[in-house]
Structure formats: structure tokens, C-alpha cells
């Protein structure tokens, strides 16, 4: 069995995971308390030892990492993390506790969702778990929440070494256990665990039947920071592929009245509702496995305005005949720079995805609409276009002209497209800031403008729009507009 060179330091944690009697007494007298040993093993044989800091148990899933400095509770409750063991790169997690109203699971989850009240992720990995939070909104500690919701978690490992390993070798299957510490036994179990690629995880987090959404307890608990939403003036059907509640709130804030439908709802049923627009939500797993959604999107494009976020972006891409690739370790965190090629603005964005559209697969470039360029960059790096401030257009066999609108400035991957001959656009990232920056709030406004029939709906001054809906931004916004 192979073991990475970084494990020498993490193996030292084994002695802490099984302390001597005196050490146990000392730990029991602190806020940390006495915790049982835990182990994380990756598919390539890399092993990390630590301490349990959540529920007792054993889980398998894809091990990935999130680079957000805050918002751990929103990350943990994001349905898009179904099937994954999430590593938080920030050293201490849980310091401001948990307010259950901040959950990103949709409000109808107990009645209409598959499963139970537990978050969809498989497990959590942190360096240091805070047992004694300090925050006036906190209702319980994070370890208490994890135990209550049966989420297995590990602390005390070198998360820097783990993240470096995943960056070098890619995200991979892992097994996290507090009940079996035998490496041979764990390796055998891990070999039998299913792969993420090819698995439809959307069906595990989508609603079972249609329902309407409106503000609930979550928004009331944040009235000190969030203004009342705009009056609803557009009826929007939402394909629920595991939607975050923050995205639903973003739609409501912009003036939408959302009706959520299951992930495999036929397009004919959606059109019977006579929506002003259709929204395609975020969601977990391999987009190629969600054919029951993108096959219906193909029937909706050109008939009704469509906006897609994250998995929804991939659904539009697949409906257009595009190819999706699995990224080496994905984009997960609240600090990803993206350029809007139409406005030239750079947004700091929140992201959570492991798959990405291969933009050239949508069609050949239209030279006269792509700055005179007739061939896609050989490297595949889309920063070619951001450096030249060009939003290139391809000719798609199914839906006419499609424009590249957003590019990731870290690695040059596609972050957004716009169908020019059908009313539709999509982005790969999360604009609702749950958690994350507010730079991309303008996309909900853009959706309203698309439904209103505006041509240049994506060209919005984000320095103004990012303050919309926030109480703390009112004075700054008034000063900006003066």
C-alpha cells in the first residue's frame, strides 16, 4: 500500500488519537473533551489519523476541499455536496457556532425531499473543531449539530498536507471511519465503494412533488441585514436538482415567484404552468448522469427564457450538445476570480463544482463576431479571450449562436455562456453568496431583464447591483448614486 511522504507528520496524530490515561484526564478537563480516534483513507492508500468530532460511524465518498474562510454551515448544508467528504482549508471551524435558520437545504426538505433532515454531504474534515462558539446568533456548537444530524467528522489532521495531496493527485474516493481503524479492512471497503462519475446524485436531493416557495424563518432571522424582497412580478418554474435556499432567496429578492418541480419533470408539464421563465438549479454529481433533466431543457430552449446556475449551466451546455469534463480537483470556495467578458468587470465568486463545460465543443467560432479569430485556442485556456476583452461566439448546430460570457481567471475554464438566438444564459458559479461575496448578485437582476425582453441584459454595473437587498448597503448605495 502506497503512502504519501506527507503522512509522516499526520501519523504523529495517532498517538493523540489514542492518548495515555493521564492525557485522557487532561483532555477531558478542557473544552475539547475526550474524543475517540478516527481515520481518513484515500483511494491511493494515503492515510490520515485524527480524532472524531461529529457522529460516530463510517462513510465513503469523493474527498474534496473548500477554500472559504467562513460560511462552513452553509457549505455543510449545501445539497450540491451529496456524495462528498468535504475538507475545510481554514484552520479552525465552528468558532461562531450554528444557527439552523441559515441552512441551505430547501424549506420543504422534511416533507418533500428524499432522505431526512441530515445534510447531503457524506463527511467533514477539519484541522481544529471549535467546541465553544461565540456568536449572539448561535443556537448550538457545530459538533453538536453534526452528532444530531449523524454526520461523521474528523479533526486533528494536517489539512494543508491533505489539500496539497488532492491538488497534486486530484480529488478521489475516500473512507472516513471512527469505528474501524484497520487499514486493510478500510482499503477493501473503499475498493467496493461506488465512483462519483456516472452516478446520478440529483435524484437523492430533488423534491418529490411541485411546491411554491416564499420567505420563511431564515429571512426573518436576518432582518437586521436583509431588506424586504421586491414585489413578485414574474412566475418562474425552478427545476430542483438540489437547490440551495440562498439561490431561491436570490430569485425572490429580484421579484420572482418560484414554483419548484422535480428534476425529471417533462417540459410539457412545465410549459402548462405558463411560466415567464425557467430556472435550472445547482446540484451534485456527474451532469452526464442527469439526462432526464437536460433532455427536457433541450425542449424548453427557444420557447421560454431560461437561466441556469452550476449544474443548471451544465444542463444547458449538454442540451446544446456540448461536452463536459471532470476537473482535477474542482472549484470550491468563495474566492474565485471570474471576468464578465461583456462588461470587462472581474467578480470574486463563490463556487462548488467538479465538472466543467468544454466551450469549443459547442461549435466553430464565428470569426466576425469573435474579434476576427477563426480558430479556438489550441491550449484550451479561455484566458486567451479575457486578455483580449473579446466575448467569442460559436455557431451551434442545435440553437444557433452561443457566446462565451464568463471566464475563470485562475485556470481559464468556462464560467458562463449566452444563447444569442434563444433567450437563455447560464453561469458555472453561485451568485447568491451563501456563503461568499456579493459581486455576482447582478445575475438575478439579469434574469429579470431577460424576462422583460431587454437585449443587453447581462451588461450590468456590479458595483451598484451587489448592494441590492442589503440593509447595511443602503447608505453606501445612496452615496454611490448621488
* Residue at grid coordinates 471511519: 177
Q: Is 314 marked as binding a ligand?
A: yes
Cα radius of gyration rounded to whole Å, the chain? 23
Angle at 415 between CA 84 and CA 392, to 5 degrees: 155
Q: Is 73 marked as binding a ligand?
A: no
Q: Is 285 marked as binding a ligand?
A: yes
Cα atoms in the 13 Å half-sphere on the side-chain side of 35: 31
Q: Cα 231 to chain center, whole Å?
A: 28
Q: Is 216 marked as binding a ligand?
A: no
Active site residue 148: no
Q: Is 224 marked as binding a ligand?
A: no
Q: Which residues, other chains included, contact 426 with Cβ-Cβ below 8 Å and sequence gap of 6+?
A: 280, 306, 307, 308, 309, 312, 313, 316, 317, 416, 417
Q: Is 54 marked as binding a ligand?
A: no
Q: How far apart are CA 469 and CA 325, in angstroms?
A: 36
* Per-position DSSP letters for 79-134, written without gaps between them: GGGTTEEEEE-SSEE-TT-B-GGG--S-TTHHHHBSS-SS-S-SEEE-SEE-SS--
Q: Is 307 marked as binding a ligand?
A: no
Do residues 17 and 7 lie in contact, with contact meaning Cβ atoms separated by under 8 Å? no
DSSP code of 194?
P
Active-site entry in 165, 331, 432, 441: 432
Cis-peptide into 435, omega within 30 deg: yes
Active site residue 192: no
CA 474, 479, 481, 482 torsion-angle sign: positive
Active-site entry in 165, 313, 406, 430: 430
Active site residue 430: yes
Q: Is 355 marked as binding a ligand?
A: yes
List the grid coordinates of 147.
Answer: 452528532
Active-site entry in 310, 313, 376, 415: 310
Q: How far apart are CA 106 and CA 112, in angstroms?
A: 10
The residues assigned a catalytic role are 310, 430, 432
Binding residues for L-glutamine: 80, 283, 285, 311, 314, 352, 354-355
Amino acid at each position: 500500500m502506497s503512502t504519501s511522504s506527507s503522512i509522516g507528520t499526520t501519523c504523529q496524530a495517532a498517538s493523540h488519537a489514542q492518548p495515555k490515561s493521564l492525557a485522557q484526564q487532561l483532555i477531558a478537563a478542557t473544552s475539547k473533551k475526550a474524543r475517540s480516534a478516527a481515520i481518513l483513507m484515500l483511494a491511493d492508500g494515503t492515510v490520515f489519523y485524527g480524532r472524531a468530532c461529529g457522529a460516530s460511524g463510517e462513510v465513503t465518498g469523493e474527498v474534496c476541499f473548500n477554500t472559504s474562510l467562513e460560511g462552513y454551515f452553509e457549505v455543510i448544508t449545501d445539497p450540491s455536496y451529496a456524495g462528498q467528504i468535504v475538507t475545510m482549508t481554514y484552520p479552525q471551524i465552528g468558532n461562531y457556532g450554528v444557527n439552523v435558520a441559515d441552512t441551505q437545504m430547501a424549506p420543504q426538505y422534511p416533507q418533500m425531499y428524499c432522505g431526512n433532515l441530515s445534510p447531503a454531504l457524506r463527511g467533514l474534515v477539519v484541522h481544529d473543531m471549535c467546541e465553544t462558539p461565540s456568536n449572539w446568533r448561535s443556537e448550538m456548537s457545530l459538533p453538536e449539530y453534526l452528532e444530531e444530524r449523524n454526520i461523521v467528522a474528523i479533526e486533528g489532521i494536517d489539512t494543508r498536507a491533505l489539500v496539497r495531496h488532492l491538488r497534486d493527485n486530484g480529488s478521489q474516493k475516500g473512507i472516513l471511519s471512527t469505528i474501524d481503524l484497520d487499514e486493510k479492512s478500510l482499503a477493501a471497503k473503499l475498493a467496493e465503494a461506488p465512483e462519483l462519475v456516472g452516478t446520478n446524485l440529483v435524484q437523492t436531493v430533488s423534491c418529490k412533488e411541485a411546491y411554491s416557495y416564499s420567505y420563511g424563518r431564515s429571512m426573518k432571522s436576518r432582518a437586521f441585514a436583509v431588506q424586504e424582497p421586491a414585489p413578485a412580478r414574474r412566475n418562474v418554474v425552478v427545476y430542483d436538482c438540489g437547490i440551495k435556499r440562498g439561490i431561491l432567496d436570490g430569485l425572490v429578492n429580484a421579484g420572482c415567484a418560484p414554483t419548484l418541480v422535480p428534476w425529471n419533470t417533462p417540459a410539457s408539464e412545465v410549459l402548462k404552468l405558463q411560466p415567464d421563465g425557467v430556472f435550472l438549479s445547482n446540484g451534485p454529481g456527474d451532469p452526464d448522469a442527469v439526462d432526464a433533466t437536460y433532455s427536457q431543457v433541450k425542449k424548453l430552449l427557444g420557447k421560454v427564457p431560461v437561466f441556469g446556475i452550476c449544474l443548471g449551466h451544465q444542463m444547458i451546455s449538454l442540451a446544446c450538445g456540448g461536452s463536459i469534463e471532470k476537473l482535477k480537483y474542482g472549484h470550491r470556495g468563495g474566492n474565485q476570480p471570474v471576468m464578465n467578458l461583456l462588461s470587462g468587470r472581474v467578480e470574486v465568486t463563490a463556487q462548488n463544482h467538479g465538472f466543467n463545460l468544454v466551450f469549443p465543443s459547442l461549435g466553430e467560432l464565428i470569426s466576425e463576431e469573435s474579434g476576427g479569430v477563426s480558430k479556438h485556442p489550441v491550449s484550451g485556456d479561455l484566458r486567451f479571450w479575457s486578455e483580449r476583452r473579446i466575448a467569442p461566439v460559436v455557431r451551434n448546430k442545435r440553437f444557433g449562436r452561443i457566446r462565451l460570457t464568463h471566464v475563470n481567471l485562475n485556470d481559464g475554464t468556462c464560467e458562463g455562456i449566452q444563447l444569442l438566438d434563444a433567450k437563455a444564459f447560464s453561469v458555472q458559479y453561485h451568485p447568491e453568496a451563501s456563503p461568499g461575496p456579493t459581486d455576482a448578485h447582478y445575475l438575478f437582476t439579469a434574469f429579470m431583464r431577460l424576462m422583460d425582453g431587454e437585449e443587453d441584459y447581462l451588461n450590468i454595473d456590479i458595483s451598484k447591483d451587489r448592494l441590492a437587498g442589503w440593509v447595511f448597503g443602503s447608505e453606501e448605495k445612496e452615496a454611490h448614486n448621488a
